[in-house]
A and B are shown apart, each in its own frame.
Chain A
């Protein structure tokens, strides 16, 4: 069986039978698609059941269809309906829990579904906890054991509302693998990512992957972009080269005429960095990169306050797109470099915007700049 998600497939490989996987989902991120995509990826070979407790079966089928996945074409697909009984509706699904608040009935029907299927997807474990209470976790433990005996795989969607940490820890402990689906925020959500928090059948180095949802199609991974901008000769190209594991610049007479491009592998992220030569080219680039730009690094020459007004103009363009930014106070090693407080005053940037001194030439402080931006986005 496979997870069916880009990048994760290569990282965690084949899912051994009997394992329990939890998608641990930020409440503001459309993360239900992950378990749906895993189910659909395995539907040809395996019998799969989707347990619904927060949507009607017809809404579940419509949700699959949104992504171009016609699950009803497969005889391997069935639904365990733990929703209709809750709202007093009738159901003609293969598995029905008439009274979802009755744990004994729920247990019987879920156990039968585990017995008869290879992949069991809980559409929302959090809704079950909300409806029934945390005693359902005892049953989760029992279902997991039963799945192990039956060589079935269980997949839980767990929405990370602010539950008691005891509940969250129990769910993580009861899972063989935990995949986090989270959001990158700056006032509002700027990007969505997924990453592995835990896998017990393979040695995996933590990695975060940014994604978009495509309809039809599902989860599409992409490489986030960070833009590096600043006045002429502030050291943008040098900075891009200093933080990148590989980088190219399109130069003419020693200055950048088109674009710098670098690729950074840092912490759990793979990031593309684009250096842009001037403000007039900035807006189109932001538009082209669309939602994939995560933030902006403004490079200034700490020894040239006369260029600060131009730097400020560039910042206006970034804030127009609602992107977070940090200021890299380059050339800090030169004798007449201004201090951070003086730069903040002259540039009039708010106190919550980090100004980080660095020397791109000496590769000093450049990763502190990147850290400051990542801190703004994901809290480190």
Chain B
């Protein structure tokens, strides 16, 4: 109950914003943003999940019947002939930034044309993308994507693994976002805080797996 309340009360992220979610590995960043996505979709938003780690089928299982659209950058590496369906667009690999961009754009179009007023996008994760493409290429890709999010009034959360990149990479990426959600773990408790040009919240404790 605590987690849900925290998320609902503090995640008043404005439409059109792009936020980086950063924290050490295994702290639960993906579960944190998945929870946000689930809540927003339950409230009527459209939801898009870009996965560079798990297959679309694994993500669908985790979302337990909550209707989202998925860009799967994983499955085609193993099975090139695996097909798309109305809610899944499979991209050949995380190198195929154009495929990811086209997929997000198509799903946004479908949501907006079907009358959805808000759409939430989770990008899991930028760190994986940076393993396949260099920073400049990813930066150009993000420039196009974040602009689209702003123009169409969606909200997006991009996961970045802390400690996996040098400072220059993280600073370059931060430039392009409207704010950062930092996630950490101390004494077996998990915390997050939001930093934007306007505000910096205190560390707020959250629980995972409680709804």
Chain A residues proximal to chain B, CB less than 8 Å: 25, 27-30, 32, 54-56, 58-59, 61-63, 65, 83, 86-87, 124, 126-127, 130-131, 159, 161-163, 183, 185, 187-190, 320-322
Q: For residue A188, which residues in chain B have a CB less than 8 angstroms away from its CB?
A: 105, 108-109, 112-113, 148, 152
> Which of A27, A56, A131, A322 has a CB less than 8 Å from the CB of B80?
A56
**Separation of A301 and B152 alpha carbons in the complex (Å):** 32
B interface residue count range (under 10 / 10 to 19 / 20 to 34 / 35 or more):
20 to 34
A185 and chain B: residue at smallest CB distance: B151
Surface stretch bound by A, among B52-60, B91-99, B188-196 = B91-99
> Which of A54, A126, A161, A162 has a CB less than 8 Å from the CB of B92?
A54
Residue B102 CB within 8 A of the other chain:
yes
B144 touches A189 (CB 8 A): no
What is the 8 Å Cβ interface bit string for chain B, positions 134-148, against chain A (1 contact, 0 not)?
Answer: 101100110110001
A59 touches B102 (CB 8 A): no
Query: 19 extra interchain contacts, Cβ-Cβ under 8 A, other than A27-B101, A27-B141, A188-B112?
Result: A25-B98, A27-B98, A29-B102, A30-B106, A55-B93, A58-B81, A59-B76, A65-B81, A87-B93, A126-B98, A127-B95, A130-B134, A161-B140, A161-B141, A161-B143, A163-B140, A183-B105, A185-B151, A189-B108
**Interchain residue pairs with CB less than 8 A apart (19):** A28-B148, A29-B102, A54-B98, A55-B93, A58-B80, A59-B93, A124-B98, A126-B98, A127-B95, A130-B134, A159-B98, A163-B140, A185-B151, A187-B112, A187-B152, A188-B105, A188-B109, A188-B113, A322-B112
**Separation of A234 and B77 alpha carbons in the complex (Å):** 58
| B contact patch SS | helix
A28 touches B102 (CB 8 A): yes
Q: For residue A59, which residues in chain B have a CB less than 8 angstroms away from its CB?
A: 76, 80, 92-93
Chain B residues proximal to chain A, CB less than 8 Å: 76-77, 80-81, 92-93, 95-98, 101-102, 104-106, 108-109, 112-113, 115, 133-134, 136-137, 140-141, 143-144, 148, 151-153
B119 and chain A: residue at smallest CB distance: A188
A159 and chain B: residue at smallest CB distance: B98
Interface centre among B76, B77, B92, B141 (most CB of A within 10 A): B92
Q: For residue A28, which residues in chain B have a CB less than 8 angstroms away from its CB?
A: 101-102, 104-105, 144, 148
B92 touches A189 (CB 8 A): no
B102 and chain A: residue at smallest CB distance: A30
